[in-house]
Amino acid sequence: MKNALVIGGCGFIGSNIVRKLNEKGYKVKVFDNLSTGRLDNIKAYNIEFIEGDIIKKDEIIQAAKDVDFIFHLAANIGNIKSLNDPFFDSTVNILGTLNVLEASRINGARKIVYSSSAAIYGELQYQPINEMHPIEPESPYGVSKLAAEKHCLWFGRHYNIETVCLRYFNVYGIKQLTDEYGNVIPKWVDLILRHKPIKIYGDGMQTRDFVNVSDVADANILAAEKKGLVGVFNISSGESITINELAKKIQQHFDYKIEILYENFRSGEVKHCKANIAKASKAFDFHPMIKIEDGLKEYIESLNSSK
């Protein structure tokens, strides 16, 4: 039986990885401080839960005993959030990651799969964005995720540990909650369910590359199981749609008309975004399966059923 530790496993993406590992027969440990994750997200699965924090080295070293694979998703997430407290952002995302890496070295883990972010690219210079795109992060969050990537790759080379960094784009799907820093999809759906208007900044012709969390979970497991795999990889759908198109697709799942308010385009916001995922497809056979129409349907139905 393969053993896995999912750090941040009570969160949105982490709990979906836990679900898939459970289905594949892994013995799973979940390590989470429950600052944003919820125990309800993993209560249906056969796992060992450990409450702890990655900034406490002794706790993560203890949790990482006797595991083959470590999925590291714990992070202080969000560009705006990091601007408000860059010191805390770096403490969690850089120091916390170093603690995870040290725990893997001490305990002899075979593979670490680190959840990174497209925020490391900064202002986009061309599309679709491949892994060779210039890296100029424009927030403390982007800087800390990039620094953590570099530490992962250095640790991998120096201590002969397979380390993989997955750069996520716009992830959405079941178990995703809305907050002030969240993705546009849960924000909008939350407002619509409360019969409130949604906002589109600019003319709505800006584009985004959305990827379903089920595909992201698959990418993590494929990367972990691919022997000898190391490096950085974009993870997204490889397709983009306009924000106006997104609103239309969401409208199809409601029997009342969504009110849309158009406001001025926000300065500093990227107008277009599309990922090149050829490297991941070739390296570990990553092929996104969930079309956005199906993913939106599943997500909205999951919220309705939880009422």
Q: Which range marks the domain in which residue 257 is found? A: 184-207+240-272+298-305
Q: Token pair for residue 41? A: 């997200």
pLDDT band of residue 63 (cuts 50, 70, 90) is: very high
In percent, how much of the chain has pLDDT > 90?
A: 85
The tally of domains found in the chain comes to: 2
pLDDT band of residue 52 (cuts 50, 70, 90) is: very high
Which helix (H) or strand (E) segment holds residue 202: the answer is none
CATH number at residue 282: 3.40.50.720
Does 34 score more than 80 pLDDT? yes
CATH number at residue 192: 3.90.25.10
Does 80 score more than 70 pLDDT? no
Which pLDDT value is given to residue 277?
98
To 10 degrees, what angle do helices 243-251 and 184-193 make? 40
Which pLDDT value is given to residue 191?
94
- What are 183-210's pLDDT values in tens digits? 899 999 999 999 999 999 999 999 999 9
Residues 191, 69 share a domain: no
Residues 199, 142 share a domain: no
Does 54 score more than 60 pLDDT? yes
Residues 190, 63 share a domain: no
Number of other residues whose CB lies within 10 A of the CB of residue 293: 11
17/101 Cα distance (integer angstroms): 20
Residues 278, 189 share a domain: no
Q: E strands along the chain, which residues?
A: 3-7, 27-32, 47-51, 69-72, 111-117, 162-168, 170-172, 198-201, 207-208, 210-212, 231-235, 241-242, 260-263
Nearest to 101 by CA among 7, 184, 228, 205: 7
Which pLDDT value is given to residue 79?
61
- What are 253-304's pLDDT values in tens digits? 999 999 999 999 876 677 888 999 999 999 999 999 999 999 999 999 998 7
Report DSSP state, residue 92.
Answer: I
Active site residue 141: yes
Q: Which amino acid is at 86?
A: P
Residues 51, 136 share a domain: yes
Residues 231, 191 share a domain: no
Catalytic residue among 26, 114, 141, 168: 141
